[in-house]
Structure 1
Amino acid sequence: MANAKQVLDVRVTKGMTTAQSNEHQRRWTEKGWGRALEIGNYDPTRERLNFEVVTGGKVRPVDKSRSIPERMAAILDQRGIKDPNEGLAEPKYRTVVNFIFGGSRKRMQELAFGSQQVDFEKGADNTGVVRKKEIEQWAKDVYAFVSGRYGEQNIAAFIVHLDELNPHVHCTLLPIKEDRFAYKEIFAGKDKYEYSERMKQLHTDFFAEVNTKWGMSRGRSVSETGARHLTTEEYRRMLSEECTTIEENIARHQRALSAIQADIRLAERRVKGLATMVGNLEKSKAEKQAELSAAERDLTANKGDAAELEVWVRTLEKELQGISEQLADKQEKLQTADRQLADLKENMSAIGQRTEELKAEAYQYSRDIHSKVDTLLKDVLLESVVGEYLNLSARMKPSERQLFDGSLVQSIAEQGTQVMHCATMLFLGMIDDATTFAQTHGGGAGGNDLKWGRDEDEDNRAWALRCMRMASRMMRPAIGKKPKR
């Protein structure tokens, strides 16, 4: 368990589709299961082990009688809260927060199945596998964490999946505070920096309150630990794992996009075919109604043989009824196909958006890594230069050593920390503080013959170099004084 880490992922959406709900609840038909098995690693023989946690932290089988959107609607109706997206042509408000809770695969499998032999290959038969109490207690702890933090009344679904490769929780939360949707107030904060800090704190609190007792570590990120505090091997492994995760996420989302695009093409053909059928049936119905009206007028006006007309009217009525039934059936199927197509397009939009976010994260991550490596290399370079100077200086003749008197290299080598501190204050415009610091640390505070102040067209690098040189000069001892060692 030493390497077991917790997983906490947050996805915010403007609602939940029926397709998403069906996936969480496994409300699939036989055909739906077939499609799921084609694109995902699900085990139908372990689906019976899935469960959900409900009010009061009770564990029960997954309730499939109502979809999650129906559950959310019932919660809002019961509390008299209006969905702000209701009636809008395009949803614009973030009304659903989807959490995924879990951990490292091996640890989660231990909690779920203990020491049982489970075959995780596709098509395996695991009908003899039973669910362990540990996974239920862990899930109840997570449920208590979410309830305490965001309100139990706001949890629309808390479903635990044990039929996939890595056991995990899907928690559907309504971001409601004081009977109103308040996503920004609860989660986002005033800007992306506050959001980032809140998410980091959420990870920390989740570890402290739940996973520390379940043998999982919080995990560390480059931004929080700084790569220089890791060994070279740890750093290399961490970078490899993080980059692989980002790349795998992008690849998985792209595969999902391809699959959805194929489904959309099929759905569009189905909608087009049904629309054509509906159009033809409506035309046939109109024609048949016109024939029936004409026959009824002839019958009323005693035109032609009355017995034949009556037979013809009954025939037309029967044919019209058959067309109407076909039309109603095709119209219902067209409505269903339209909804399915809309759900697919919504899913494609959401996955496409997340894919672009992941690409942006990968790009930013790459930039951050290069920046940190650049800083690390500069630190190593500076330390190496100073070390080599000190070694060489010790072997130099006095006349040779005088060549470096007053140089920046000598100042950094002999008073590196003080020079850097003084230069930092100069760079920030804290002239008086820099002068006081230099004087109280044995420096003569430089002289007044050096032009000081930043030029209007001076870039950061040039300004930083002048600050370093000035700090070096300020830290030199006054004439007649010996430098502090």
Structure 2
Amino acid sequence: MNTDIKQAMHVEATKSFSTAEANENERRWNDDKIDRKNQDATNNYDKTRMKLNFEIGTDGKIHPLGYHEKPLEVRLQERLSELGWKPFKPDSKIQPNCCARFIFGGNHDRTIEMAFGDQSVNLEKDADNSHLHRCEEIEHWAKDLYGWCAKRYGQKNIVGFQVHLDESSPHIHALIVPVGQRTKSGRECVMWSAKFGKNRFEYGQILKDMHTSLYEEVGSKYGLERGDSIDGRNVQHLHKRDYIRKLTKDAKQAEKAVKGLQTMIQKLETQIYSYQTQLEEIDKSLASGQIALREYESQKSEIQKQISEYQTKLEDKSDKLHEKEQELELLTKDAANARSVIQPFRNHKVDFTPPRITAKVPVFGTDKWVERQNQHIAKQFTEIVRKIESLYRNDAARQIESAQRNVLADYGELFQLRRDVKMLAENYDNLKSIFETMLDQMANHSIRSKIFAIADALIGGTPVTVSSSGGGSSSDLRWDGRRPDEEEEAYRRRCLMFVIVTVCKQQTKSYRRK
């Protein structure tokens, strides 16, 4: 059972909210749209559980999901208009944050328990969960979270509060407008800094306080612990190339660990087999009277103790090997997925000073002054564009080179596969020829009788002499006997195959001499 039962809260600032995002939150989809969404391997929208989704309205009560006549993005725009919010010009690259998107969740097993109790839930794709009903605990949890949001941001500023029970883990989407007061007029307006701080330091402190407050007021009531802070943890956001390099390094280490564990397991199995052989030997010694019963029991106890210890070590190493093999499989899969997608261009941070007018407008000669300023701005702008162009051109060249290397590697693998196919085809032809020769030889009654007679002799451990039909010479048939770990049926098959091949070779030589 997972003991890491923690709450989860994700906050994201947004400058706009599209119709597609609103439709997803309110599940304003038809069956075709859901099927298209589920074609993505990362999505799992369960149609049979969608009826269990709900939302909390502006009255603080539970309603079916999408009950409101006005779509979510329309309600957001109306609230922004009430607050007098005006974005910058449409062509401006910088826009203010107008709302915050929250996602509330927690430990998978705990949230599933709150939503469905002890009912059996099948989380596989296209599963039938129509038998499920929604439990009251998930509704209480959602109401408490709604109250927590209303207390911090104001109930009328919660534009949407949707609870999804049709995905892998139950979670909540909340769309909230941050509102503050202007210093001079005291009028309410959209103000991100009033609720989330003026800089990253203040934002980090506010988030810590939010997690603590969320745990004390809501999470603790439902057995959800406070989420871990990222302070002091080695949390990094890697570029794709560094990510692939890290995955490759981790995969090599995991592969090395797998090989080491396999070697250890082989040694342990060999040692256990050795001790089991010793047990058989002392059993024979006791039966023949070579050792006394007391000595036999002492030796047997010591050997069994050693076997038990090695068996424990073997089980431990086997478990670790299984874990490492799974880890290696995941790392290999992640690395392959990362390599399969070539990102056209990475985001470059281009440092430049925007063109600005620094001189004052003269009283006379305004036209010439404007012309000079335009020329100066055009020159600065051209330099910036050339710098960006150079960065993207170099990046494109690197991407093309990387793609070429991948193609060459694919051709190398293809060439190796072709050689392997050719070798397998040749081996198949040889084996087919041998098999047909064996069938021809076995069709001869005298040769067949000879084969079975020699095979029976080998199985019984009797020395065998194979006489050639071309003269009086004879040759001894070499045979190493049964292997220690070989089963009876496997040993019999090996004897028969060995005799068939040997006799067939003798017959082939005889035919050639004739």
Tell me the TM-score normalized by structure 2.
0.42
- Decide which structure has greater helix share: 1
Tell me the TM-score normalized by structure 1.
0.45
